[in-house]
Structure formats: C-alpha cells, structure tokens
Amino acid sequence: MSKCRLHIARSDYELLWHHLYQEDRDEHGAILLAGLSELDTIPLLTVREVHLAKDGIDYVAGKIGHRALTPQFIHRLITRARDERLVYLAVHNHGSDRQVGFSDIDLRSHERGYPALLQIAKGMPVGALVLGQRAMQADLWMPDGSRRELDQASVIGMKIDRLAPHLSRNLGSMDDQYDRQIRMFGREGQQTLSRAHIAVVGLGGIGSLLVEYLARLGVGHFTLVDDDAVEASNLARLIGASQSDAENRTPKVQLARRLIQQANPSAHIEHFNADVAKASVADRLKGCDYIFLAADSMRARLVVNALVHQYLIPAVQLGSKVRADEQGQVIDAFSAIRPLRPGVGCLWCNQLIDPNLLAKEAKTDAERKAQAYGVEEPNPSVISLNAVSAGHAVNDFLMDYLGLRADRPLHYQHINALTGKLQLVEPRHDVDCPECSKGGMRFARGDGADLPCTEG
C-alpha cells in the first residue's frame, strides 16, 4: 500500500502517550487534527491539535469493538477539521511495544464509518492511528478513495525519535569506512544516518565545514542552497576551494557538492544555486529531516524559522561573530549554536530577525546607495571560530538524531573565544507569536499556510 508520514511535537506526543498508557492498562482514545502537505506524492501530516477523549464521556463501551469514540465527540471534531482545513485522525492504543497494526475489528469500523466522514470533510483526508508503546500505524483515507499506511512518524523535541509500524531488522552490509563510529552509534545509528535527508542552507565558511563533517559521517541525502559564488576573500575559510574556483567564480553549492562526493560517493545530492526565499527552493526543504542554517541573511532566517514551525522540522541556526573597537582591539568573539524546534527557539520571539535589515535586503544595490544606506563593510570571519559552531552543531545533531542522549530543554549556546566559556541562553517565547505559538497562523499547518517567500 502507498505510504504517508507524520510529524508531531514531542510535548504533544507525550500528552497523547500518557493519556493512552494509563495505570489501568486499558484502551483509551483521542482525536488529532493535522496539517496536510504533499512531499513528492507522499502526504505529510503535521499534528496541530490534540483532543483527548474523556473516558466514560467521549470514549465509551462499543457495540462491536472494545471501546469507541462517541458520535458527538467525532462530530464536533470532524466539523472542526473541515472548517480549519485539517486532517481528522482518530487514535487508540494497543498493548504491544515495538510493533503495532489495526485489528480486523478496527479495519471494519473504518470501512463502516470513514466514507461518511470523508463526505463531511469536504476534500480533506480522514483516518486513524493506532499506537503501540514504541510503534505507530496509520490508515489514512484520501479524498480520491485511495488508502495510505504509515511509513514513519517523527517525534520532534530536542531529541528526535522515529516510530514505524514495526522494527526494521534489515541492517544490510556496512562499509569498513564507518567501523570506528559504528562502535559509538551502532549499526542501526549508521543506517539512520545513511537514510537521513539533511538540508544545509548557506555554503560559506560554516556550511562548507558542515557538509564535510556530515558527508564523512555517512549522511545519505543532501539538499544544498546558496546563491553565491567563490571569490578570493573566501579562500581562507572555504574547505576544498582553490584559486581556480575563485577565478572561475564556482558556485558555492558546486563546491559543496564536490566535497560530499569525495567523502561519500553514494550520497544523493540536490542543489540549488538560488536564494532560499524563492518559493520553489523553500518548497524542496519541507521534506528534509533536519535543517542546518548557516546563511547570514535575515531572509534565510525568516524562511527557515517558518519551515520549522509550519512543517515541524528540527533545525539549528549557526553563526560566529567578531567585533573590534576603533583601535582594532577585539572586544567580542563568539560562536553561536541556536537550535530551533516546533514551538520553541523561534527567531522572531528572540529578536533574531530584524525587520529593518529584512527590508534593506529586499532592495537592490542601486536602491541602497540612493537611499544612503552606505556601503556595507564586511564582517571579520575566521575559520576556527566557524569550526567551533559547525563542530558543536554536528555533535548535537548526532546526539539528538541518533538518540544517544535523553531529551532536554532547548538552549542557545554561545561559545566565547576570549574567555573560553560556554554560555547557555534560555530563549524567549511569546505566547501570542503568530509564527511559533500553537494556536498561531503557522504552527503545523503544512501546505495550508504560505511560507514567507518570493515568487519563482
């Protein structure tokens, strides 16, 4: 059967899980409402609302099955799904652990009920999820009458877990190349890396280090975005760049592609020598498992921030900054690693998207001169400060994506090169932020909201 995917924020998954797995060890129910997106023909469901069914009120002894959602509860939420253009998903649990599937009774009840729900939903899919303690299966009914089962669900906290209907035991053969790291991640972890689809936005100093590290680790799928070309002043920081790249103005994405191919010839690479704010480019990022943001434009921050909250994709924003006073004395030098997760770490909430700079970026060079913005002095930049950001960010990715450590609160990390100190900054969260708050215009809406992009 064809497949679908699901993304859910960890806080929502935990709320659901603890409702389903109570001390009575019985069956419990809920309804999720999810945004819908299209990833090359595969539907992606992003959970926006969790409605727990109260036992004895919304979830009662069934006529045929063990228990069932009441018609009133179903009606209230299928009409809400229709009005909000969200996907209706009825949820219950089985007692199993690492594998789960619908029973014949479950499937017969879908066949009795879902054709009518599809009519009410007016063009949106409807369906069901069944959970095991560490597994999930879906039966999604599409408006065209086809049905989809679950390929993979991702639970997105700082830590990222993947759930499937059953545990895959097919680990295949693995290269000696990865022997030393398999001793750390296990063969399952190495396979997870080979299947991971990673986007790197910005392939300058930090981005070129990121692709070098990720490709050597064995990441199997890359999407690369940068609209810039190599020039002589980059050679002190760009891994793999030569004098002839500067002379020929090699696009930075081409250089990154070359680095990846050398390190991992079997990697699949998609690259865009274009601005990430172009709608057709941003659209290719919504299918990624993780985004590294190493571009310094406000536009790139705006778009990646929106992707995180709208499609529930984990990301990290990276940078390094050096400031000198008028006498040339260095007064500040630090590397920043700022994780972004659905509903937390938002760059708007933390004033890391400057509307004035955003407006200025939208102008052409000629307009900027005419309006006396002046010519921009380039910022200082040094390869070893970049390496601190890139190295920390890739370590965090490995720990969190391969489940090598427990979930933890989200902090920005600032590593100061003058003092050697690591500062953990608790990011702000504006409960009314339209970009990241759960009731806002963007959270988990998927293709149902517009990304802040330009045409093309």
- 105 to 124: interface string for Zn ion, x by CB under 5 A: -x------------------
The beta strand positions in 280-393, using DSSP E, are 290-293, 315-324, 330-340
- Closest approach, Cβ 103 to Zn ion, in A, equals 5
Nearest residue (CB) to Zn ion, 144 versus 426: 426
Find the shortest distance in angstroms from Cβ 76 to Zn ion: 22
Least distance to Zn ion from the beta carbon of 407, Å?
21
Q: Which has the closest alpha carbon to 238: 201, 205, 216? A: 205
347 near Zn ion, judged by CB under 5 A: no
Q: Is 346 in the site for Zn ion (CB under 5 A)?
A: yes
Q: Is 413 helix (H, G, I), strand (E, B) or coil?
A: strand
306 is an interface residue for Zn ion by CB under 5 A: no
Identified binder of Zn ion from the candidate list 185, 435, 445, 447, rule CB under 5 A = 435
Tokens of 161: 């877990």
**Alpha-carbon 55 to chain mean position:** 34
Mark 378-417 with x for binding to Zn ion (rule: CB under 5 A) and - for no binding.
Answer: ----------------------------------------
SS3 199: strand
**Residue 62 C-beta: closest distance to Zn ion, Å:** 10
How far apart are alpha carbons 189 and 405 in whole angstroms? 13
Strand partners, 52: 30
Binding residue for Zn ion (CB under 5 A) from 193, 349, 385, 402?
349
3-state secondary structure (DSSP) of residue 257: helix
By the 10 Å C-beta count (0-12 exposed, 13-18 middle, 19+ buried), 92 is classed as buried
Among 229, 279, 417, 433, binds Zn ion (CB under 5 A): 433
Which of 113, 17, 115, 131 is closest to 70 using CA atoms?
113
Please state, in angstroms and as integers, the Cα–Cα distance from residue 6 to each residue in 26, 38, 102, 308, following that order: 25, 12, 17, 14
From 182-190, 215-223, 381-389, 436-444, give the range in contact with Zn ion by CB under 5 A: 436-444
> If binding is defined by CB under 5 A, does position 178 make contact with Zn ion?
no
Letters for 352-371 (x = contact with Zn ion by CB under 5 A, - = none) are --------------------
Q: Does 32 bind Zn ion (CB under 5 A)?
A: no
**Number of shown-chain residues binding Zn ion (CB under 5 A):** 8
Residues of this chain that interact with Zn ion (CB under 5 A) are 103, 106, 346, 348-349, 433, 435-436
